[in-house]
Structure 1
């Protein structure tokens, strides 16, 4: 993990700990610099509790010890970010299960309903004859990402 200091710690600020509630802006970028997600687009900072599952442990580890007013940039390997692709998350679905309303097209992300009623996104990776390969891994699995944060408040 690479850490770049963007500014110095503000005196008398609250420090992020393992059970802190945090309000922050963040951006996630790929190695080519393209932005994947950012709370700054709509100027709506994210609010979460450390350890609540909103962020992966790798992202949370970057935040520990930061204080209000800190701005930092972290580069995370796939294992610390969204993980590596799991081959068990590739499924093969018959082409006939798709419709003209929801056609199977390579690169398309489609929401699939699980047996418990929850929705899960899948990416169409390949179509061979009557078989469609759907990838249910996180779309950023296997990617090195840069995580930029601006800690607004530690509640």
Structure 2
């Protein structure tokens, strides 16, 4: 039976959860996730985790922080003056916003804290710093 190798396009069903058991994403009720193995289109631990799997096989991947979204970076946490926020925006912790850099690139940020004069914005991926667990099933090698 054929096994997954680098360069194959695969379809998988998955259930992603944190170590505390909280689900952060799953493909249940949706089409399987399709990606080309070894191209970096999914996190490294997921990419490596499907290697050598056979169609119909199921397994659990325990992905360390370094092979997921990496550690949180203090450089991606910034203070932003409340005076520069649009008057109709009432920032709350957890709120997702978009910012742009001097080159005009837009990127997502989350409100991490709200103070009297500043809000703290976090541009880290929401799952940065988290080891991840995926239950996966190889549905097809395309």
Moved over 6 A (4+): none
Q: Is there any run of 5+ residues in structure 1 with no aligned partner, and where?
A: 1-11
> What displacement does 1:115 show?
4.1
Count of residues paired in the alignment = 142
* Residues 21 and 50, structure 1, Cα contact 8 Å, conserved in 2: yes
> Which structure 2 residues correspond to residues 52-71 of structure 1 after superposition, within 5 A?
52-71=39-58
Query: RMSD over aligned Cα, in angstroms?
Result: 1.7
Q: 2:3–2:53: 8 Å Cα contact kept in structure 1?
A: yes
Q: Contact conserved, 2:40 with 2:47, CA < 8 A, in 1? A: no
Aligned match for 1:45, one of 28, 32, 55? 32
1:149 equivalent to 2:133? Answer no
* Contact 2:56–2:139 (8 Å) recurs in 1: yes
Structure-2 residue corresponding to 1:81: 68
In structure 1, the partner of 2:21 is 33
Normalization by structure 1: what TM-score? Answer: 0.82
Corresponding position of 1:22? 10
Cα drift, residue 16 of structure 1: 1.2
- For residues 87-107 of structure 1, the C-alpha deviation after alignment (integer angstroms, 9 at most, x for no partner) is 111122111232354322112
> Does residue 138 of the first structure (1) align with residue 138 of the second (2)?
no
C-alpha distance in structure 2 between counterparts of 1:133 and 1:96, whole Å: 13
Mapped to 2, the partners of 1:101 and 1:18 lie a distance apart of 50
